[in-house]
Structure 1
Amino acid sequence: MTVSPSPTAPGLAASVPLTRVSLAYIETRLKLYLRFGEPARIVTLDHWRRCAIFLPGAMFCRMLWEANDYGTIRWQLMVMQACTPFDALQRLPGVQPGARLLLKAEGEQAVQAVLQRIDAIEALSIAPAASSPAYWRTLGNRLAARLPLPEYSMERHAAWLAGRVLR
């Protein structure tokens, strides 16, 4: 799929590949859904499956919860950024052609810790998808190193917005 670039995205090619993210829901077994992010479009494939389509540069968070007859077997949260044709991307299951992985949390405790940070960002009246990608990378690195997780503040957000203007 391709889309013409918007007037706010100068310098992009005449057609830009979109990032397609698989979503699914099977009651009591599987939930694969977006926690945040604004897809350009959502395509319903059938009763259980959907596909979210993102423009280049869009940030989003996909959550995975799996269970079997005995309870939850997997918690996963990934914060990603859709890439332009000129960016290096990572191949990720269910994300075509791939995306820039900013944060990956596995396990209930790690996912709950990141969800608390997402809720705190929303409490500041900031859309998590509009926050700094560097914050999500830092959060992912701190999770991996088992260090205290930083808070996202209005000052950090203002610095991120000022830096974008200067680019």
Structure 2
Amino acid sequence: MPPPSLAVLVGQTDAAQLTRVSLTYVEQRIKLYLRFGEPARITRLDHWRRVAVFLPGAVFCRIRWQANDYGTISWQLMVMQACTPLDAVQRIPGVLPGALLLLHAEGELVVRAVLAQIDAIDALGISPAAVSPAYWRTLCNRLAARLPLSAYTTERHAAWLAGRASP
């Protein structure tokens, strides 16, 4: 089911339908940013902080990079799907009210491997936000099992789109 349009949600006074994602940038310390996803809007809070707002059903990827005086201390990548208030969501720091976590990667090597997969999807001319949520879950499971990551193909994407279009 496609996500409702922004015009439908603008008329609602209840903003609980929307997922808010905190983004931060402090030079040489922390970078919390979106790798992909199409926010309905982005609000700038101050020089360092922004909030991206997503409609229900939107898929997005947030990357967290953090360093101290001695170098990088953490890498984290999460692919998430914004939900409605009726969906079961996972509580994720910086994501309100929460989201469905499709993929979670920790550590530089693992994050770089997932970024390579995202770049390969981009190279196919497919928006990573339009990729099947099942692919992101499969990638997460393969990471957990320490198996080679499977590639997303145009055939797989066509099958996903055909399955979504059928009643």
What TM-score do you get using the length of structure 2 for normalisation?
0.91
In the alignment, is the contact (CA less than 8 A) between 2:66 and 2:74 conserved in 1? yes
The answer for unaligned runs of 5 or more in structure 1 is none
Structure 1 equivalent of residue 143 of structure 2:
143
Is residue 83 of structure 1 aligned with residue 97 of structure 2? Answer: no
Q: Return the offset for 1:86.
A: 2.1
2: CA distance, partners of 1:6 / 1:34: 21
Structure 2 equivalent of residue 25 of structure 1:
25
Structure 2 equivalent of residue 133 of structure 1:
133
Is residue 6 of structure 1 aligned with residue 5 of structure 2? Answer: yes
2: CA distance, partners of 1:84 / 1:165: 21
Is residue 53 of structure 1 aligned with residue 53 of structure 2? Answer: yes
Q: Which amino acid aligns with 1:106?
A: E
1: CA distance, partners of 2:95 / 2:77: 14
Q: Within 5 Å, which residues of 2 pair with 1:67-78?
A: 67-78=67-78
Q: Which amino acid aligns with 1:53?
A: V
Q: Which amino acid aligns with 1:125?
A: G
Q: How many residue pairs were aligned?
A: 160
Structure 1 runs of 4+ with >4 Å offset: 13-16
Give a deviation string over 1:77-117, Cα, whole Å, max 9, x none.
Answer: 00000001221110000000000000000000100000000
Q: Residues 166 and 95 (structure 1 numbering): CA distance in 2 closer, same or farther, change over 3 Å?
A: same
Q: Return the offset for 1:6.
A: 3.0
In the alignment, is the contact (CA less than 8 A) between 2:6 and 2:40 conserved in 1? no
1: CA distance, partners of 2:17 / 2:162: 28
1: CA distance, partners of 2:110 / 2:5: 37
Is residue 161 of structure 1 aligned with residue 165 of structure 2? Answer: no
Give a deviation string over 1:126-160, Cα, whole Å, max 9, x none.
Answer: 00000100000000010011011100000000000
Q: Which amino acid aligns with 1:164?
A: R
1: CA distance, partners of 2:154 / 2:7: 25
